[in-house]
Structures are given as C-alpha cells and as structure tokens.
A and B are shown apart, each in its own frame.
Chain A
Amino acid sequence: MGTPGHGKFERRARPLLGTIVDIGVRVDGAACAPIDAAFAEIVALECLLSRFDAASDIARFNALPAGASLAPSNATLEVVRVAQALFISSSGLFDISTGTAPEGWACRDDQLHKLDSRTVLDLGGIGKGYAIDRAIDRLIEQGATAGWVNAGGDLRVFGDVELPIALRDESSGGSRAFASLADGAFATSHYGAGARSRLAGAEPGALCRHGAVHVSVAAPTCLWADALTKVVALSGDTSHPLLARHDALAWLH
C-alpha cells in the first residue's frame, strides 16, 4: 500500500468553496489535465450551488415568491434530492432550510417549488462534500490513478494512497495527528466559540454534554461524510443509525 511519501504527487491549491481547495494526484503521466479538470468542476458547481452567488440555482430559488418554482441544473437536483431524503430519514435534523421553514420547499418533477416565502435554502451542509465527490470523478475520468481533494478539512482520497489526517487547533493554531485514511472521505465540523460552522435551530447541547467541539465523520463518499457531521452534531450520537446505513464512522472530540 502506498503512502503519500511513496511516489511523486503533483499538488496544487486554489481559493474556492470559501476555503482553500488542495488537490493532489500521483504523477505517472501528464498530471496537469486531471487537476485542471477537477478545479473547473468545482468552479462550475460553486456557481450552481452557492447561495452567495446571485446567479446560482439556490440564490434564484431563495429570491422566488411563494408559489413559484424553477428548473434547476441536474447537479442541484441531485444534491437537493439527497437533502430531501435525509431530512426525512434524520427526522428533521438535517435541514437545508436551516430552520427558516423546513416544509416550505419541495422537489418534484425536476422542479424546485417554493411553498413558503420564508424558506431560504443553504447547501452549506452538503454542497462542499458533493463538489469534492464530483472533482474526484473528474480526476479518475482524466486518468489519475491516485490522489485526493481536500477542501479545508472536508476531503476524499482514492487509489493506492493513504493520507495522514491532522486536526487543527482552531483557537491557537498547531495540528495533531488524528487518523490515516485510504479510499474514502472524511469531514470535520467545528462548533466551538468563534467557529464558522453554525447549527440550525438550538445550540448543540448534545455536543456540550460531551465536552466536544468537533464532529468528524468518515464515509465512503464526501457528500455523506459532510452531511452526516450535521446529523451527529445535532443528535450527539456517534452511533446514529444513519451512520451504519451509509457505512460511516463518527467521532466527537
């Protein structure tokens, strides 16, 4: 089994998805094309999924009046359908309306329908993971045999490579070894004072009872690693049934 220390990797980073996205691929041919294609995929998805981009599907949906609908891109439909299913299977814990009006939207017949004018969708809990999965698809399609995509801590690795994962101390800097990961995805959310991540609804009381401020989830794909950190954070349950259903593992720390 390879480790990042074995073999050469081409590695680049760009500011995307509100963080720094680091992509590495094993060099065994022309490595540039796969990385370019993966970055291009992330740029395209960010334009569709970010609620901060006024032209995105999500921003346009948020601007709709109640009763109106729009036909989003296939990528948006894919993410929103997963979110819709996860809202139900998590008994409402996972909510892309972030508490504004969870029942105020619906996805039917390839259309996004706005039922309640208060509904504001935000794919922050799932979109980054989805974009990482799609970027990995591009790397593989373009002939990369091993590599990773890491968007500020949400990451996925494929091929014969094992990545060390370190956790950063958000308050004072520095990082500590946490795990190594091969052929899968890993996502961490930080909910301490001053953290950017916010949980919709109540304070994460479940987390506080554990004295924990981080939730990490390992899963086969990054969409699920990303989304399930929110379920674990809100339930405080590292044995939540959804984890096993998606072959995922979770830690509070």
Chain B
Amino acid sequence: MRVSLAASALAVSAAAPASAFAIDYMNIEQAAKLMFPDAETFDARDVTLDAAQLQQLDAQGIKGRSAHWSVTAARRGGSTLGFVVFDEVVGKVELISYAVGIALDGSVRQIEILAYRESHGFEVRLPAWRKQFVGKGAGSAIKVGEDIANISGATLSCTHVTDGVRRIVAVVAAARRGGALV
C-alpha cells in the first residue's frame, strides 16, 4: 500500500478551491450494444404517453415526469430483442445520465451509468449546463486523466437513478400496452 497526501489534504476547510468534475463512461450507442450484443439494428422511436397512460402511472405511484420518451428497440432479423431507454437525473450536486436495458418480459436487463457531472449544485439545473452534456460522449468516452478519477467522502446517491429506472420500466410497459412499441 502506498499513500501520499496532497499538499492541501490536511487543510481541507482552508483556502483550497473546490473544483467540479465530470466522468464520461460511454455514449447511448455503446450502451445499447453492450446490453444487446446480438442486435443487428437499433431503432429509436419517440413515444408519447397520453393523459390516460400518465394517469395509470400516477396510480402506480410513479411520476411520469414527461409524456415524451425516446425508446430504442434492439432488433435482429424480424424480431425485437428488447429496449433501451436513456434518461438523466439531477441529484443534490450532480447530474447523472444512464441507460436502462429492458428485456421482452419487461424486466430490467442492465443499467449502465453513461456520465456523471458533479457541480456546485446550481449550474446543474441551468439549461446551458445540461445542454453541454447531452449528446456528448462519443469521442470522450472512458477517459481517465487529469480530471479527478475518484472521489471519496462522497456518498454518491443512486436514489434518483433507482426511481428513474422504476419510471422507465413503467413507461415502456405502458407504451407497449398501448401498441406504440412492437
């Protein structure tokens, strides 16, 4: 074991500036291929839930949050293997984007974090901050370097991701019942 303390380590509360950091793991296409390696094509569809479907979600205790979702179907030959949905959630001081793979029986096949953006709490809620991050990733996936690789002392909450996954499972089920996804 080798541990070296940073110069500022023991003066944490003093003048050392706090810096935000970000990690890109993979983009949506990479996540879809990882979840459904046998798929030949990925077919993105816009799904719009109607008022009745949103009410059904409410009745299940799930906030639909949005009526509009993009759901990617993984296909091989003429058959559908499953679905991938991309989403992002805002925590106290972070923005987490993730993808959920859903099997044909409606169960969660895999969850992958796509990117993690930590901020001082307020930037994350501004549209410009979100925009800079949405759609990013292809060239900068999986980078470990000068940007902080690992943090400690942080209980990175995954509560919002867990809630988001439940919502996505319900949205895909509702869309399939409604015939919007085949």
Contacts and interface: CB of A to CB of B under 8 A. Distances in A.
Contact of A172 (B120, B156, B158): B120
Interface in B125-182: 142, 144-146, 148-158, 161-162, 165
Contacts of B154: 152-153, 167-168, 170, 175, 188, 190
Contacts, number: 187
A183 B96 CA distance: 29
A188 B9 CA distance: 14
B8 interface: yes
Interface stretch (B39-47, B53-61, B68-76, B109-117): B109-117
A154 B153 CA distance: 8
Given A19-B156, A173-B20, A175-B118, A24 B5 contact: no
B118 to A, nearest CB: 6
Contact of A216 (B92, B112, B153): B153
A87 interface: no
B124 to A, nearest CB: 9
A13 B112 CA distance: 6
Contact of A11 (B19, B25, B157): B25
B10 A174 contact: no
A166 interface: yes
Nearest to A12: B25
B26 interface: yes
Interface string A199-227: 00000000000000010101110000000
Interface in B1-51: 1-10, 12, 16-21, 23, 25-26
Interface stretch (A65-73, A102-110, A157-165): A157-165
B119 interface: yes
A155 B152 contact: yes
Contact of A175 (B1, B3, B121, B148): B148
A13 B118 contact: no
B34 to A, nearest CB: 8
Contacts of B158: 15-16, 18-20
Contacts of B86: none
A84 B39 CA distance: 49
A226 to B, nearest CB: 12
B93 interface: yes
For the complex, would chain B's binding face be called helix, strand, loop or mixed by DSSP majority? loop
A12 B8 CA distance: 29
Contacts of A8: 142
Given A4-B149, A155-B150, A15 B98 contact: yes
Contact of A15 (B7, B26, B113): B113
B153 to A, nearest CB: 4
A184 B156 CA distance: 21
Given A22-B150, A153-B156, A214-B153, A174 B19 contact: yes
Interface of A: 4-5, 8-16, 18-20, 22, 24, 148, 150, 152-155, 162-170, 172-188, 190, 195-197, 214, 216, 218-220, 247, 249, 251, 253
Interface of B: 1-10, 12, 16-21, 23, 25-26, 92-94, 96, 98, 111-113, 116, 118-121, 142, 144-146, 148-158, 161-162, 165
The 6 A-B pairs at the shortest CB distance, nearest first, are namely A174-B18, A184-B1, A173-B93, A168-B154, A13-B113, A15-B158
Given A168-B118, A172-B18, 14 more contacts: A11-B25, A19-B157, A19-B158, A22-B150, A164-B148, A167-B12, A167-B154, A170-B155, A173-B121, A178-B5, A180-B6, A197-B155, A216-B152, A218-B3
